[in-house]
Amino acid sequence: MLDVQGLSKLYPVSDGESAPMRALRGWARHQPCPAPKLHAVDDVNFTIGAGESVGLVGESGCGKSTLVSLITRLIEPSAGAILFEGEDIAAINTRAFARSPERGAIQVVFQDPHDSLNPRHSAFDAIAEPLRRLKKMATADCRPRVAELARDVGLPEELLDRLPHQLSGGQKARVNIARALAPEPRLLVLDEPTSALDVSVQAVILKLLADLRSRLGISYLFVSHDLNVVRLLCDRVIVMYLGRIVETGTAEQVFEQAAHPYTRALISAIPRTIEESEVERIHLPGDPRSPVNPDPNVCRFYGRCPRGVDQCQRNEPRLQRLAEGHEAACHFADEASPLSALRFQ
């Protein structure tokens, strides 16, 4: 349903040289000297099937949020195509997209349920807004549909006239989900939907999301840093590192047989309760490499990788197939042992 091909987003950054100086230097060398580029999302390819739930994980600064903004058409990509049900929506500019029929088909639930609601709009206004804008419904006609949406997300109807500050965190999360569901999307992008909620509330919202997906048959792109939550809700997982996809596979493949050293470090870093088996911690020394004009021949993970050999500096590994649906971008991906072998005996 969604097919992302070679998607990139590069931001020009300043290196202290002024534009006229750069132009002058280009003129002197008889070739243009472009400003350095920050590779936020770099040549990313993936698909999401109809009704499928895909998790997107990675540390802050790896390009998750940029990728979300690209797919939801809030920013323009530098290169690549986003095929949504066969049509390249990357070709429509963001302003025009806001009024196109696909706007309703791709909806987002944003991270902070409080900050993403207008403080002066009631719950009813928040949910009715997309109906008025995208479905061209008159405000008076919205009532029954808003009530139905509220029922879908388990929001008591008497709360619809309340303002955000009169609602609890869980109720605000439900308003946000109802608002995103209002234009009947086929792809719902969930950007850390539960990270601002307490665990006691998180469980209800996760169950609600799972239930909505099975009832409405919509696809999810679920962005989260909580791997235990991703495991619960997603069929497939995409792991990003420094603008690139480093591993992708079914949830089981990624969590049990992670092949990329970054994925393995990520899984080993999840805090575990006493009841769970202990997993040996893989330490990642240092900071990520700079995303500004990265060397095309060096593995992005080189320098932090516990393995990192000479080959990794000469040759950037590309995604290689390990099993049906399981790919990892590491020269030594096929040598990785199953994760259970990491556990202490």
Tell me the C-alpha distance between 156 and 44, whole Å: 41
Options 126-134, 178-186, 205-213, 321-329: segment touching other proteins (CB under 8 A): 205-213
Which of 21, 270 has the CB closer to other proteins?
270
Are residues 44 and 67 in contact, defined by beta-carbon separation less than 8 angstroms?
A: yes
First to last CA, the chain: 44
Are residues 159 and 171 in contact, defined by beta-carbon separation less than 8 angstroms?
A: yes
Site residues for other proteins, 79-138, by CB under 8 A, read: none
Site residues for other proteins, 55-84, by CB under 8 A, read: 59-60
Which of 161, 276 has the CB closer to other proteins?
276
Q: CB 256 → other proteins: shortest distance, Å?
A: 10
Q: Does the footprint of other proteins cover residue 341 (CB under 8 A)?
A: no
Q: Does the footprint of other proteins cover residue 140 (CB under 8 A)?
A: no
Tell me the C-alpha distance between 285 and 344, whole Å: 22
Q: CB 326 → other proteins: shortest distance, Å?
A: 19
| Contact string (CB under 8 A) for other proteins, positions 142-181, x = contact | --------------------------x-x-----------
Which of 5, 195 has the CB closer to other proteins?
195
Task: Tell me the sheet residues that pair with 249.
Answer: 237
Q: Cα dihedral angle (122, 127, 128, 133), rounded to 10 degrees?
A: 120
Tell me the C-alpha distance between 216 and 122, whole Å: 26
Tokens describing residue 110: 């944003």
Tell me the C-alpha distance between 79 and 298, whole Å: 22
Which residue do the tokens 């040289």 mark? 17
Residue 264 C-beta-side C-alpha neighbours within 13 Å? 29
Which of 33, 210 has the CB closer to other proteins?
210
Which of 103, 260 has the CB closer to other proteins?
260
Q: Does the footprint of other proteins cover residue 334 (CB under 8 A)?
A: no
Q: Does the footprint of other proteins cover residue 254 (CB under 8 A)?
A: no
Q: Does the footprint of other proteins cover residue 43 (CB under 8 A)?
A: no
Q: CB 126 → other proteins: shortest distance, Å?
A: 21
Site residues for other proteins, 268-287, by CB under 8 A, read: 268-276, 281, 283-284, 286-287
Tokens describing residue 166: 């009169």
Integer CA distances (angstroms), 244 to 8, 30, 39, 173, 251, in order: 9, 33, 9, 30, 19
Q: How many CB atoms lie within 10 A of CB 110?
A: 17
Q: Does the footprint of other proteins cover residue 13 (CB under 8 A)?
A: no
Beta-sheet pairing, 236-241 with 219-223: unpaired
Which of 72, 263 has the CB closer to other proteins?
263
* Contact residue for other proteins among 200, 296, 335, 341 (CB under 8 A): 200
* Contact residue for other proteins among 84, 97, 255, 301 (CB under 8 A): 255
Binding region for other proteins (CB under 8 A): 59-60, 168, 170, 198-204, 206-207, 210, 225-229, 231-233, 255, 265-266, 268-276, 281, 283-284, 286-287
